[in-house]
Amino acid sequence: MQHDLHRFLSGTVLAGGQLDPTLLGLSWIGLAEPTHVPQGLPCQQLHAPCLLGEPVEAWFGAGPAEAGTRHGVRYRHDGELLFGVIEVAEDAAAALGGDSGPVLQRAGRQAYDAVFRLLAEEGYSHLWRIWNYLPRINEETDGLERYRQFNIGRHLAFEAAGRLVMDSIPAASALGVQGGPLSVAFLAGRAPTRSIENPRQLSAFRYPADYGPCSPTFSRAALGRHADTEWLFVSGTASIVGHQSVHPGDPVAQTREIVTNLDAVLAEASRCSAGPAYHLPELSARVYVRHPEHLAPVQAELTRALGAEAQLVYLQADVCRADLLVEVEAQACHLLS
């Protein structure tokens, strides 16, 4: 079921309208600058073409929200949930100096340090869900792939904040887009979430050194409670079994493997849930497709698995491993009373 915390919207829905007082923030897919976004509303732009579906996702609280900007983070919160966005230009991170290492590593550290300072000051101790976007994610610079540079900066910030606690690491995604700064958006709450892992996959934070000096810092999914609703956030999910990519070069087989992984995550989440079991047709999702010509076969596979009524948006983006062609992230919710 769809709940008021999250909705897909058209790109023109905000034109001429009044700001919903419970609106926490937006995610906007497209290469053109967002339009009709009310001043002070945090909005993360995904510099990526929208291939199919509504290009705007909106996140809502349970009551009237207050806005602020601190440490470079634009945010709104309703007393229980906080949505924030921070962007760090890599040339600005380079100019600041500070930590040694590649510029993107420093930018990642700077962004996450700012997020953790804000959350400590506002009393939102628990990260629920994070979205990371950066250009040229698979490119190698300074002798290291840019995604791996980002992972080092993120890991160092988690470590410095004392947040490398494995049962409370948030759900997350990290994708490559066509331009723009390093962009990080997040949902945080006063209440904790429960991290969920996929029994078919090695936990990302336990990946071997083959995948870089620091493992990615995210859980496969997270369960959180907001008002009378339990929310399941599923991290970016790709064609990975154990820790290895499978079905190279085959977008259909990769999509089928993704569905199998999603099914496994939902089964594990259902085991931990305070409510009824989760099922694939309940999911609303962003689908990242590396090559636009793969849209039709990927859509066909996901329609077969999730149903024609599933709320999905498809966009062109690069997955964090160069041999992966598709990634799916999702959310679902259940009323608990």
Among candidate residues 52, 55, 132, the one with its CA nearest the CA of residue 294: 52
Classify domain 6-335 at the CATH class level: alpha beta
Rounded Cα distance, 271 and 252, in Å: 29
- pLDDT attached to residue 228: 86
CA 268 to chain centre: 20
Rounded Cα distance, 140 and 303, in Å: 35
- Name the residue type at position 311: Q
Residues with a catalytic annotation lie at 327
Among candidate residues 107, 215, 128, the one with its CA nearest the CA of residue 172: 128
On the 0-12 / 13-18 / 19+ scale of CB atoms within 10 A, 54 is middle
CB contact set of 331 (below 8 Å; sequence gap of 6+):
6, 129, 231, 232, 233, 234, 283, 284, 285
Domain range annotation of the chain: 6-335
- pLDDT attached to residue 101: 85
Tell me the three state secondary structure of residue 192: coil
- pLDDT attached to residue 285: 97
Segments in 278-337 forming alpha helices (H): 295-306
- pLDDT attached to residue 1: 38
Tens-binned pLDDT, residue by residue, of the chain (337 aa) = 345 688 888 766 566 567 789 999 999 999 999 888 888 899 999 999 999 999 999 999 989 999 999 999 999 999 999 999 999 999 887 776 566 789 999 999 999 999 999 999 999 999 999 999 999 999 999 999 999 999 999 999 999 999 988 777 999 999 999 999 999 999 999 999 999 999 999 999 899 988 999 999 999 999 999 888 999 999 999 999 999 999 999 999 999 999 999 999 999 999 999 899 999 999 999 999 999 999 999 999 999 999 999 999 999 999 999 999 999 999 999 988 7
Tokens found for residue 86: 């921070």
- pLDDT attached to residue 130: 98
